[in-house]
Amino acid sequence: GAVVSQHPSRVICKSGTSVKIECRSLDFQATTMFWYRQFPKQSLMLMATSNEGSKATYEQGVEKDKFLINHASLTLSTLTVTSAHPEDSSFYICSADRYGESSGANVLTFGAGSRLTVL
Amino acid sequence: QKEVEQNSGPLSVPEGAIASLNCTYSDRGSQSFFWYRQYSGKSPELIMFIYSNGDKEDGRFTAQLNKASQYVSLLIRDSQPSDSATYLCAVNNDYKLSFGAGTTVTVRA
């Protein structure tokens, strides 16, 4: 089945530094990927839609200059948290939409997630 | 009003019983509906999806959709301790998924 690889799974950084998270589709091409953020005991909140070869589309309230998204190829999207602060500590999850022949539908497949802790 | 609403739980059921999870959504134009399971500290994994009114069964799971009432549910039959997790309802709006806050299910052995 479709596999989405996300790296790193955990990262701890100092306040003010930048952190890059990679999301790769391993066995399919993903023209669109989605980045979510999840705080403890809360649901997933869509941050942005990453489009291959074009600018990402950010959800309301998400700072595009702080959360840089690059989707340079059909299998790789990256999220860079710039000048991270403790309030950015969260679980970041990427996902990709893939048409499944067995299901006959587009289904969102998630990466394993990246837990960011900013000290 | 939240787009997707679920009872947060926790829902505790004995092993072998049926767990019933409910979800309501606000956008009447929503076309597809998904149930994901999320274990603590892990990312969500798809259980099943449903597009049409009525029931859809997949193994021990049954999804039920009522578009007129803007309601979707998930039944877990013969609940097992391994089913203990948070279950997220998701609704597709304009090609983006909106998630509910999730219902935490605990299956007692």
The predicted structure's pLDDT at residue A15: 97
Give the list of residues 6+ apart from residue B84 with CB closer than 8 angstroms, or none: B105, B106, B107
Q: Residues A23-33: pLDDT tens digits?
A: 999 988 888 89
Give the pairing type, strands A90-100 and A114-118: antiparallel
Residue B108 predicted with pLDDT over 90:
yes
Residues of B with CB under 8 A from a CB of A: 32, 34, 41-46, 49, 51, 88, 90, 95-102
Tokens standing for residue A1: 């089945």
**CA nearest to B104 within chain A:** A41
The radius of gyration computed from the CA coordinates of chain B, to the nearest angstrom, equals 13
Contact A89, A13 (CB under 8 A): no
Compute CA distances A49 → A34, A114, B15, B73, whole Å: 5, 17, 40, 28
Q: Nearest CA of chain A to the CA of B51: how many Å? A: 10
Q: Under an 8 A CB cutoff, do A44 and B88 touch?
A: yes
Q: Nearest CA of chain B to the CA of A82: how many Å? A: 23
Tell me which of B33, B36, B43 to substitute to probe the interface with A (most A C-beta atoms closer than 10 Å): B43
B63 vs B93, higher pLDDT:
B63
Tokens standing for residue A106: 């587009």
**CA nearest to B42 within chain A:** A112
**How many CB atoms within 10 Å of residue B27?**
14
Q: Residues A24-60: pLDDT tens digits?
A: 999 888 888 999 999 988 889 999 999 888 889 999 9
Residue B97 predicted with pLDDT over 90:
no
The predicted structure's pLDDT at residue A105: 67
Contact A116, A15 (CB under 8 A): no
Q: Alpha-carbon distance A47 to B71, whole Å?
A: 26
Q: Under an 8 A CB cutoff, do A111 and B43 touch?
A: yes
**CA nearest to A3 within chain B:** B45
List, in sequence order, every residue forming a beta bridge with A114; answer none if it has no partner: A92
Residue A1 predicted with pLDDT over 80:
no
